[in-house]
Structure 1
Amino acid sequence: MNKDTTTNTTLAGRKEWIGLAVIALPCLLYAMDLTVLYLAVPHLTEDLKPSGSQLLWIVDIYGFLVAGFLVTMGTLGDRIGRRKLLMIGAGAFGVASVLAAFSTTAEMLIATRALLGITAATLAPSTLSLIRNMFLDSNQRTVAIGIWGMSFSIGGAIGPLVGGILLEHFWWGSVFLLSVPVMILLLIVGPKLLPEFKDPNAGKLDLPSAMLSLTAVLAIIYGLKQVAEHGWEIFPVLFIVLGFLIGILFVRRQKTLADPLIDLELFKAPAFSAALIANTLTIFVGLGSFLFIAQYLQLVLGLSPLEAGLWTLPSAIGNIIGSMTIPIIVRKIRPIFVVTGGLVLTAIGLGLYSLVNETNGLVYIVAGSIILSLGICAVVILGTDIIVGAAPPERAGAAASISETGAEFGGVLGIAILGSIGTAVYRNQMSNVAPAGIAAESIEAAQGTLGAAVAIAKELPDQIGSALLIPAKIAFTDSLQIVTIICALISIVLAITVLAMRKNLEKEEES
């Protein structure tokens, strides 16, 4: 990996930092759009009356198409210009947001959410690759990527809060209109503040490669989503296998092209591959464990959705602190040691999660979430910096899209695999729980998920309901403990692996 040269001529100035603030705004909205819809589901369900299948597509199709189009959009930006693609994507995202807000049928909302997903796929790789070109100094680029990552954290944290306020006063479609003024602002000031970059020697976009990439990613992620919801059944497993087979065809095609969609040479750099694996697995344990924490707060401790949301704010504060301090720390401590330290912090945070019990665990959740956020920030910020910095400037869009696709896969893998492990532990613990006075079908449902157990217990007399609910909460807490211990062990193994690769990674950095 070529080391960036740091001279006065490469330092970014006031215009670049203002431009960074501009490109952070659509990233914040991108993250908000992933979370804000969940609050609106009851309201839009009452208005549009979607079927169960339609409601799942309304919720999921945005994330599916974001993941599916990342690689294509990142490479497209390298060819037509990162700023140009960002402007096109921002304008289309604003239009799609208005159409989604005023959807009159479930089918229309599914279609507009799909359009939102496709256009959102332009935002992350375009903004990240622009940062690669705007901030040539490695120290400044690390700070810029920290701010870029912080915008996603803030968006994810405030999305439910802002959405809740809007839904208190307006109709469900208002949550989609949040993005419109920001996208208009981006379209006005973007051409003045953001420079244009593209690969002057790029060939045409290979459409068969784009289709293979899209199909492979969509098939794997759809299969993993189905696994998370229904377990390891034959249908979702077939989708996952099909996706991997198409992915193999995609890789083989790239080897035969003069101008491939993804430069496979990037993966030969140890730092690039190590950073990509570290990022993916860190997000795997982070999102996979959060799936259990969110349920624990509401179903075990009995907090309302708003209360649970408020208790997750400390983790957002941890993200902000980490995003601002990691670039400073890395100037004094070698990046490899900062990444290793981040993985150790991640393990400690997850270890605190494993100490919760069925009656008292809020202090461990809050403390663990702050430490976990700091650890994840160290790994993801520096990992992303390494991934983007490893690519030549003209291929920064492709590298950024690989980074974001890895993050998407880490998230869905964490939810699917860790969710399946947790479900298996819960069901095993509940297999012998069958209090007298409860119908057989209700017992079967309660043995499947804690959510069902809580709902059934509410309809029963207190004594019988407690006989069902107490062991259900214990079983879920046990599953949370086992999953978080597994995640902590993964983080520790990853930290040891990074240290074992230290010499090779440092040689590459110096070359």
Structure 2
Amino acid sequence: MTTDVKPPTTRRASAREWIGLAVLALPTLLLGLDNNVLFLALPHLTADLAPSSTELLWMTDIYGFMIAGFLITMGTLGDRIGRRRLLFTGAVAFGLASILTAYATSPEMLIAARAILGIAGATLMPSTLALISNMFADAKQRGTAIAVWMSAFLVGGVAGPIVGGILLEQFWWGSVFLLGVPVMVLLLAAGPVLLPEFRDPQAGKLDLVSVGLSLVAILPAIYGLKELTADGIGLQPVLAIATSVLFAALFVRRQNILAQATTARSQPLVDLTLFRNRSFSAAVGVILLATLIMGGALLFVTQYLQLVEGLTPLRAALWMLPPMAGLLIGNMVAPQLMQRIRPGSVIAASLLVAAAGFLILTQLPSQGGLTVLVTGYTVASLGLGPLAMLGTYLVVGSAPPERAGSASSMSETSGELGIAMGVAVLGSVGTAVYRGQSTDGVTADVPADALEAARDTLASAVAAADHLPDVLATDVLESAREAFTNGLNVIAGVGAAAALAFAVVALSVLRQVPPSGKPTTSDTSETNEGANLA
């Protein structure tokens, strides 16, 4: 069935929509799996492909950056050609790219394969959320559906380390990426039967100039950040970041020009008027913050478990269960809290809980720290759990039906960009601390090549120690692990400070948004806030 107009807001979803929601959860589940299994496989990747520290960072965040770069384009494209059609196209591409990633034979090949995987993933995410927006017209049902959809991502995060750990115990690291193939096959088999098609009948052609500007506004910044991380301040990275800022300004200017045009063929790629809604803007910021903190912390937490505590991949995955369960619990209770308490208050309270968890992590020792790590990260995860769901609900509820794909893509762009920025920015902060302290106190008897390796990454230090006498190996490992832990402590402190600051912002900016069970008519200046969020 093809439907060009969103059903009336009084219609409640039937069993068909709820079964369709289960189908839409499949690609979301896969994306959760794919995000976490890479972190778990990093030590194996490092041992097999021997990437440099810069290549290692590219491996971890190129996927998220490519998703972030193409989400807006794909969300708008789905509004035009059909959200179900785009979803199926992306499923095929994602499955094929998963195979290419699994059989990568060099760091460069893996980075390229992960980039392709990210572009394919960008077709999946806005399609699923936009279809949910269309399938669930009732506001309360839509809130529950969004929570279920996001829970699928979190369940993927929970199951990913377990499944990935089992696979890494039995097979090579590439096996973890093959998980995407059966999931996409199931989606392609069930989707045509259960999922309707939705598109905007008034949509104009995709503005390719805007597409190009959006990419050039993001990708040079990524390059500049990477170069700054690897080599410090230099002409090339500064020019790259300046180029990104320039093209971002040109992109915004073109969107404003297209929005003022009168022809249907001149629609902007991004509806910037949505940002006039304070709830929309604040929600996008909250999603960005929550995912930035979580992405940066997760990179170091998973490596701490394996490289500092010396756990196997499976045991490391099991220790990650409490934090992932905290995320899931926080996400699922959010719709109930939102019906009784103002979203701004729920977000602020959640950020305070997250800050408490990160403050615990600042006390993490370099030896015997499993209890502190799991306790702090679980509390932080419990606080971060409601944020993405509430932010997504506010973003989707602020958009008109025909722009659901575009609005969904902006919500997910902030999330994916947050994860990638967390890995890049907070990862760079932690790496800088590590490099500055990794060889402090190491005796002069350690060979120069081992010292150089130890300064690069903790994984390199562990690999170098394997070729040293026991006394020297212990010396190198103790210094490197202490430096790595100090880096994690700093990241946790930054996360706590950011959470506290945004808690104040949320209380201020979102104070007029009522609970979802209590409509308001007092603030008509907020676009669709009374109609869509009540």
- Shorter chain as normaliser: what TM range? 0.7 to 0.9
* Preserved contact between residue 221 and residue 412 of structure 1 (Cα < 8 Å): no
Q: What's 1:345 paired with?
A: 353
- Please give the per-residue CA displacement for 1:223-275, whole angstroms capped at 9, x wherever unaligned: 33444555555434433332222211111111111310000101111001111
Deviation at 1:129, TM superposition (A): 0.9
Note the C-alpha offset of 1:450: 3.8
What CA deviation, in whole Å up to 9, does each residue of 1:304-343 have, x standing for no partner?
A: 3332222112122122222222212222222211111111
- Quick one: distance in 1 between partners of 2:313 and 2:175? 20
- Measured at CA, do residues 503 and 85 of structure 1 come closer, stay the same or move farther in structure 2, by a change above 3 Å? same
Alpha-carbon distance in structure 1 between the residues aligned to 2:268 and 2:77 = 12
1:205 aligns with 2:213: no
- Alpha-carbon distance between aligned partners in 1 of 2:151 and 2:443, rounded to the nearest angstrom: 48
Q: CA offset at residue 56 of structure 1?
A: 8.1
| 290-299 or 121-130: bigger deviation | 290-299
Between 1:482-491 and 1:231-240, the stretch displaced more is 231-240
* 1:438 counterpart = 2:439: no
**Distance across 2 between alignment mates of 1:395 and 1:103:** 38
Structure 1 residues 349 and 253 mapped into 2: Cα distance closer, same or farther (>3 Å)? same
Equivalent residue for 2:88?
87
Corresponding residue of 1:32 = 33
Question: 1:224 aligned to 2:225?
Answer: yes
* Equivalent residue letter for 1:321: I
Structure 2: distance between partners of 1:305 and 1:358: 19
Contact 2:327 2:383 in 1 (8 A): no
Deviation digits for residues 410-455 of structure 1, max 9, x if unmatched? 1222223223333333444457534232234544543454444444
Q: Is the 8 A contact 1:71 1:401 kept in 2?
A: yes
Pairwise CA distance, 1:51: 8.5
2:196 counterpart SS class: coil
Instruction: Give the percent of matched residue pairs that are identical in Structure 1 and Structure 2.
Output: 52
> Which residues of 2 match residues 143-222 of structure 1 at below 5 A?
143-166=144-167, 174-222=175-223
2:132 corresponds to 1:131: yes
Greater mean alpha carbon deviation, residues 221-230 or residues 343-352: 221-230
Contact 1:227 1:420 in 2 (8 A): no
Counting only pairs closer than 5 Å after superposition, residues 257-276 of structure 1 correspond to structure 2 as 257=258, 258=261, 259-276=267-284
Query: Deviation string for 1:432-479 (max 9, x for gaps)?
Result: 534232234544543454444444444444444444443443333333
Partner of residue 393, structure 1 = 401
User: Residue 96 and residue 419 in structure 1: after superposition, are their counterparts in 2 closer, same or farther (change >3 A)?
Assistant: closer
Q: Distance in 2 between matches of 1:94 and 1:420?
A: 31
Instruction: Please give the alpha-carbon distance, in whole angstroms, between the structure 2 residues aligned to 1:393 and 1:125.
Output: 13
Question: What are the Cα deviations for residues 365-396 of structure 1, in whole angstroms up to 9, with x where unaligned?
Answer: 11222222221111111011101111111101
Change (3 A) 1:177 1:480: closer
Question: What stretches of structure 2 of length at least 5 have no aligned partner?
Answer: 1-7, 262-266, 515-522
State TM-score, norm by structure 2. Answer: 0.84
The residue aligned with 1:320 is 328
1:20 matched to 2:28: no
Distance in 2 between residues matched to 1:175 and 1:418, nearest whole Å: 25
CA contact (8 A) 2:9 2:137 kept: no
Looking at structure 2, the residues matched to 45 and 425 of structure 1 have their Cα atoms a distance apart, in angstroms, of: 21
Change (3 A) 1:494 1:51: closer
CA root-mean-square deviation? 3.3
Asked whether the equivalents of residues 32 and 156 of structure 2 are also in contact (C-alpha less than 8 Å), the reply is yes
2:382 is equivalent to residue 381 of structure 1: no
Distance 1:452 1:36, change over 3 A: closer
The aligned amino acid for 2:344 is I
Native 8 Å contact 1:83 1:197 kept in 2:
yes
> What's the offset of the Cα at 1:89?
1.8
Amino acid at match of 1:196: E
The whole-number CA distance in structure 2 between the counterparts of 1:450 and 1:106 is 18
Residue identity opposite 1:183 in structure 2: M
TM superposition shift of 1:350: 0.7
Q: In structure 1, what is the equivalent of residue 518 of structure 2?
A: none
The gaps in structure 1 that reach 5 residues or longer are 1-6
Partner of 2:241: 240
More moved, 365-374 vs 245-254 = 365-374
Once residues 63 and 305 of structure 1 are traced to their aligned partners in structure 2, the CA distance between those partners, rounded to angstroms, is 23
The match for 2:503 is: 495
Cα contact 2:329–2:385 (8 A) shared by 1: no
Q: Residues 428 and 107 from structure 1, CA distance in 2 versus in 1: closer, same or farther, beyond 3 angstroms?
A: closer
My pick for the range that moved more, 472-481 or 399-408, is 472-481
SS at match of 1:24: helix
Residue number in structure 2 paired with 1:4: none
Which of 426, 436, 457 in structure 2 is aligned with 1:418? 426
TM-score between the two structures when normalised by the length of structure 1? 0.87
- In 1, the alpha carbon distance for the partners of 2:279 and 2:246 equals 27
Q: 1:416 & 1:333 partners in 2: Cα distance?
A: 35
Shift of 1:21: 0.5
Contact 2:344 2:509 in 1 (8 A): no
Q: How much has 1:63 moved relative to structure 2?
A: 3.7
Q: Deviation at 1:65?
A: 2.9
**Counterpart of 2:198 in 1: which secondary structure?**
coil
2 CA distance for matches of 1:94 and 1:204?
Answer: 28
Alignment partners' CA distance in 2, 1:361 and 1:354:
11
